[in-house]
Amino acid sequence: MGERELRRPAGRVLRITSLTNPIVKEVRGLALAKNRRASGRFLAEGLKLVTDAVDSGWPVRTLIHTGTVADEDRVAALAATTRARGGDIVIVNQAVLAKITRRDNPQTVVGVFDQRLLPLKEISPTGGAVWVALERVRDPGNLGTIIRTIDAVGANGVILVGETVDPFSIEAVRATMGSIFHVPLARAPAEDFAAWMSRWPGATVGTHLAATSDYRQAAYRDPVLLVMGPEQAGLSPTLAAACNTLVKIPMAGRADSLNLAVATGVMLFEIRRKNLAIDG
Ligand SMILES: C[S@@+](CC[C@H](N)C(=O)[O-])C[C@H]1O[C@@H](n2cnc3c(N)ncnc32)[C@H](O)[C@@H]1O
């Protein structure tokens, strides 16, 4: 923690029972993409997840909890750290928390965090690196699952290409199971990404149903940039042409494709198996 952060005034402690309180409305509003865009913030739910985030260097801007939780010591420690770093503590009742999280059985702890997105120029394709580019991914569950898989396999991060679903939506964050705090995210328009990708020093591997190479036969020259297509249309001709290898995962039955997150998982474990053992 930096000196300036140490000197930040301690956050406030507020008790709120009204469903119409402006802070409740503001935090609840983070369920909408336009409010997340305007504020640059997002919500994450659950004591373990919020604690992990803080331990990984993500300060909580507002910590909301019900006061009467099973794990009081851990919540008290989390609240103390949050306040010391200038975040506010908001103690609410179950009804308010249900309203904020739009769930009948909400988690007892919710944190508000600042979003983090890297520009492409900050990605360095060093030895052993594996980055995943997702073109126009639409489904928050797929995106969250992919972020979680990237974390599990020890890959470096994800690049969102073109118009994609918001990685900071409640659904996407839930599906990451906390990996949103451990996996760097970048975002770029398709043209910028294609130009940047042309300078990638290792393999740029696109996955395509019309590819003739089996993904198990490909050489994944280190560092690897794996490029996945959108759920509906598949990889665009522009990005397919920009990849130096296109591969297909053979399928035995009558399914015409794999789910995007499943295909990404299969590819990542194959790339890791070939290039670097995973020590669990
Ligand atoms: C649901 S699929 C898209 C299906 C789409 N109708 C198409 O024609 O590509 C989403 C993405 O997952 C990847 N994918 C899914 N199944 C695959 C397979 N068997 N081989 C290679 N990539 C696959 C590709 O990147 C694809 O763009």
Q: Is 258 in the pocket of ligand 1 (CB under 6 A)?
A: yes
- Are 202 and 73 part of one and the same domain? no
* Domain-located, residue 209: yes
Nearest CA to ligand 1 atom 18: 249
Distance 184 CA to ligand 1 centre (A): 24
pLDDT band at 250 (very low <50, low <70, confident <90, very high): very high
Distance 159 CA to ligand 1 centre (A): 18
Instruction: Give me the pLDDT at residue 69, please.
Output: 62
- At residue 200 the predicted structure's pLDDT band, cuts being 50, 70 and 90, is very high
Residue matched to tokens 């052993």: 128
* Any domain includes 141: yes
Q: Which of 74, 99, 114 is the last residue of a domain?
A: 114
> Is 107 a member of any domain?
yes
In short, whether 209's Cβ falls inside 6 Å of ligand 1 is yes
Q: Are residue 59 and residue 103 in the same domain, yes or no?
A: yes
Are 168 and 41 members of one domain?
no
CATH number at residue 171: 3.40.1280.10
Task: Report if residue 142 sits inside a domain.
Answer: yes
CB of 115 closer than 8 Å to CB of 168: yes
In angstroms, what is the span from residue 255 Cα to ligand 1's centroid? 11
The model's pLDDT over 264-277, given as tens digits with 9 standing for 90+, comes to 999 999 999 988 65
Same domain, 68 and 139: no
Average pLDDT of span 242-260? 97
Q: Are 132 and 226 in contact (CB under 8 A)?
A: yes
Would you say the C-alpha torsion 198, 231, 266, 218 has a positive or negative sign? Answer: negative
Are residues 162 and 231 located together in one domain of the fold? yes
Question: 248: Cβ below 6 Å to ligand 1?
Answer: yes
CB 228 less than 6 A from any atom of ligand 1: yes
Decide the pairing of beta strands 88-92 and 62-65. parallel
Atom of ligand 1 nearest to the CA of 228: 25
Q: What is the pLDDT of residue 104?
A: 84
| Cα gap 201→54, rounded to integer Å | 35
Q: What are the pLDDT digits (tens) for 19-57?
A: 999 999 999 999 999 999 999 999 999 998 999 999 999
Q: Which residues of 112-122 are buried (b: 16+ CB within 10 A; e: fewer)?
A: bbeeeeeebee
Q: Determine the structural domain holding residue 98 and report its residue range.
A: 3-114
Tell the residue nearest (CA) to atom 1 of ligand 1: 231
Residue with tokens 């904020």: 100
Same domain for 138 and 249?
yes
Is it the case that residue 10 has pLDDT exceeding 90?
no
Give yes or no for residue 9 having a pLDDT over 90.
Answer: no
- The predicted-structure confidence for 150-183, as pLDDT tens digits, reads as follows 999 999 999 999 999 999 999 999 999 999 999 9
Domain end residue (candidates: 92, 114, 136): 114
- Is 262's C-beta closer than 6 angstroms to any atom of ligand 1? no
With a cut of 70, say whether residue 66 has pLDDT above it: yes
Task: Tally the domains of the chain.
Answer: 2
Query: Domain check: are 177 and 261 in the same one?
Result: yes
Listed residues 114, 143, 160: the one ending a domain: 114
Q: Which of 139, 258, 270 to mutate to test the pocket of ligand 1 (most atoms within 8 A of CB)?
A: 258
Same domain, 45 and 163: no
- Rounded to two decimals, the pTM is 0.93
Q: Does some domain include residue 19?
A: yes
What is the average pLDDT across 95-113?
89
Q: Same domain for 255 and 207?
A: yes
- Span 116-143, average pLDDT: 96
In a domain, 222, yes or no: yes
Choice between 130 and 107, residue whose per-residue pLDDT is larger: 130
| Any ligand 1 atom below 6 A from CB of 235 | yes
| Element containing residue 213 per DSSP (H, E) | strand 213-214
Both 124 and 253 in a single domain?
Answer: yes
Q: What is the CATH number of the domain that holds 72?
A: 3.30.1330.30
* Confidence at 2, pLDDT banded by 50, 70, 90: very low
Are residues 267 and 187 both part of a single domain? Answer: yes
37 CA → ligand 1 middle, Å = 30
Please indicate, yes or no, if residue 109 is contained in any of the structural domains.
yes
* Ligand 1 within 6 A of CB of 206: no
If asked whether residues 77 and 196 sit together in one domain, one would say no
| Average pLDDT of the chain to the nearest whole number | 92
Residue 241, number of CB atoms within 10 A of its CB: 11
Please report, rounded to a whole number, the percentage of residues in the chain having pLDDT higher than 70: 95
Domain assignment present for 280? no
